[in-house]
Amino acid sequence: MTTHQPASASRPAQDTRRQTPASPRIALVTGASAGFGHAISAALCRDGWTVVGAARRADRLNAIRQELGPNFHPLELDVTSDTSVAHAVAHMAAHFPDGPDLLVNNAGLALGVGPAQHADMQDWERMILTNALGLSRMVHHFLPGMITRGRGHVINIGSTAGNYAYPGGNVYGGTKAFVKQFSRGLKADLHGTPVRVTNIEPGLVGGTEFSLVRLHGDEAKATAVYKDANALLPEDVAEAVVWAASQPPRVNISTIELMPVTQSLAGTRVYRG
């Protein structure tokens, strides 16, 4: 006769779903001065993390420090500059030598919504330098330390634009497809190490500066992007980050794609000349 044990009997007692850090762990969040980065920093601080929030606008970071308190540490950083990233590395080594345990590569931007044939080459360059090269530079500098310390997690902020093409997405979508495939490649290279890699791919999210930047400061057009759309909020993305980061160490969340209920895929188009 086979004896069936309840499933719970075979599980170790410490198998809790959420792993809030027992001692303060250190997260480095890029693009922390606005939008997702601000919300991610707030959510991580609430979850017990010490957060180093990095971006170019020091005044914004200092205001966020006032809001979030002493567990939020502002760090001026331009991910497109080797010198600035080297300074960030030195700053982390001096002030947080045991970290970062978590690197959230969130800094990024889109510029322009027009077709490729009318695009501004400088906009393309800036997107590639920030979203692809800047993100790679951060990983290049901070990954070896994670391996040496025997713990770490890289969470990249990709986009549905890296999964599905849309008119005007051209280079922005290309950079986010890079982030997706780079994330997969990192996971492959980290085989046999405890370091985790996650790519988070949001669709339409309001409440950030994203469209204002993309539309070169045109507030009316930027507001219209979200009109009556019931778009996601930065807090929804932050929740995905915290959830992925708080899984038990054996769990690697590879990808999270999240879209508002109001957004769907529309398939292909046929041009009838």
Binding site for ligand NDP (CB under 6 A): 30-31, 33-37, 55-57, 60, 77-80, 106-109, 130, 134, 157, 159, 202, 204-205, 208-210, 213
Helix ranges (DSSP H) in the chain: 35-46, 58-68, 82-95, 121-127, 135-149, 170-189, 210-214, 219-224, 234-245
As given in the structure block, the two tokens for residue 16 are 């809790």
Out of 44, 79, 161, 242, point to the residue binding ligand 8X3 (CB under 6 A). Answer: 161
| The one-letter amino acid at 194 | P
Q: Of 34 and 146, which CB lies nearer to ligand NDP in the complex structure?
A: 34
Cis peptide before 100 (omega within 30 of 0): yes
Q: Does 259 sit near ligand 8X3 (CB under 6 A)?
A: no
- The per-residue DSSP string of 139-184 comes to HHHHHHHHHHHT--EEEEE--GGGTS--TT-HHHHHHHHHHHHHHH
34 binds, among ligand 8X3, ligand NDP, none (CB under 5 to 8 A by kind): ligand NDP
Q: Of 146 and 241, which CB lies nearer to ligand NDP in the complex structure?
A: 241
| Residues 46 and 72 sit within 8 Å (Cβ to Cβ) | no
Using CB under 6 A, which of the segments 25-33, 45-53, 132-140, 159-167 binds ligand 8X3? 159-167
| H/E element, 220 | helix 219-224
Q: Of 45 and 55, which CB lies nearer to ligand NDP in the complex structure?
A: 55
Q: Does 106 sit near ligand 8X3 (CB under 6 A)?
A: no
Q: Does 183 sit near ligand 8X3 (CB under 6 A)?
A: no
Q: Does 159 sit near ligand 8X3 (CB under 6 A)?
A: yes
- Among this protein's residues, is 172 annotated catalytic? yes
How far apart are alpha carbons 102 and 66 in whole angstroms?
23
Q: Residues with catalytic annotation?
A: 172
Interface positions with ligand 8X3 (CB under 6 A): 159-161, 169, 203-204
